[in-house]
Chain A
Amino acid sequence: GALVYQYPRRTICKSGTSMRMECQAVGFQATSVAWYRQSPQKTFELIALSTVNSAIKYEQNFTQEKFPISHPNLSFSSMTVLNAYLEDRGLYLCGARLGGSYEQYFGPGTRLTVL
């Protein structure tokens, strides 16, 4: 079956520092990967949509300068949170879309705490 792994599951960083998180699709080819942030109120914010061989599309309020994404192949994507502050806290979710379908599979998330 389709599985999505995210690493690390939890991370703590000091205010102003950066941290990188990874997303791995196993058992299927992910033609696109969407990164979301889930707030403590459980709402989802779409950060960016990354499609292999296409430009990464960032949503309003999110920029490449703050959240650079690498998507080198159909099974791996990474995102860095640069210069993290308190407002960047939350659960970062990676949703990998199965090629040829609209189904999107999610990893368990990376929970970011900023001190």
Chain B
Amino acid sequence: GDSVTQTEGPVTLSEGTSLTVNCSYETKQYPTLFWYVQYPGEGPQLLFKVPKANEKGSNRGFEATYNKEATSFHLQKASVQESDSAVYYCALISNYNVLYFGSGTKLTVEP
């Protein structure tokens, strides 16, 4: 079945440093890939999605490239801020129309 594996957290960074959260996926279909972010007390929010291989998605300074050959979709940000502290989830949806989440990576950014 479909699955997503991502960097195990927690991850603690200082403000202004760079972030990479690794994500790899498995599916026999051609998926659309997502990054979601969840803040305390809220449901997950869509950060961005990428439906096609070799394309890049971005939002709020975060970006990820859909790498079909490597089956990866790593999340990056050049300079994190304290407000970026949250849990980040990589996810995919395939022809089965079900959204599968990774286990989440908790990011804490210290001032």
Which positions in A face B, CB cutoff 8 Å? 4, 6, 32, 34, 41-44, 46, 49, 51, 93, 95, 97, 102-109
User: Is B59 part of the contact surface with A, judged by Cβ < 8 Å?
Assistant: no
Residue of chain A at shortest CB distance from B36: A106
Asked if residues A42 and B104 are in contact (CB atoms below 8 Å), the reply is yes
Within 8 A of A (CB), among B20-34: 32
Nearest 4 CB-CB pairs, A to B? Answer: A106-B43, A44-B101, A102-B32, A42-B104
- Report the separation of the CA atoms of residues A49 and B96 in the bound assembly, to the nearest whole angstrom: 10
Q: A49 vs B99: C-alpha distance in the bound complex, in angstroms?
A: 10
When the two chains form the complex, which single residue of A46, A51, A102, A108 contacts B43, counting CB atoms closer than 8 Å?
A108
Q: How far is the CA of A42 from the CA of B99 in the complex (A)?
A: 16
A34 contacts across to B, CB distance below 8 A: 98-99
A97: chain B residues at CB < 8 Å are: 97
Contact segment of B45-53, B64-72, B74-82: B45-53
Bound form: Cα–Cα A93–B43 in Å:
7
B107 within 8 A of A: no
User: Provided the pairs A42-B87, A43-B104, A103-B49 are in contact, do residues A108 and B42 lie with their beta carbons within 8 angstroms?
Assistant: yes
Contacts of B101 in A (CB 8 A): 43-44
Complexed CA–CA distance, A4 and B46 (Å): 13
A selection of 6 A-B contacts at a CB cut-off of 8 Å is: A102-B32, A103-B46, A104-B46, A104-B93, A105-B46, A106-B36
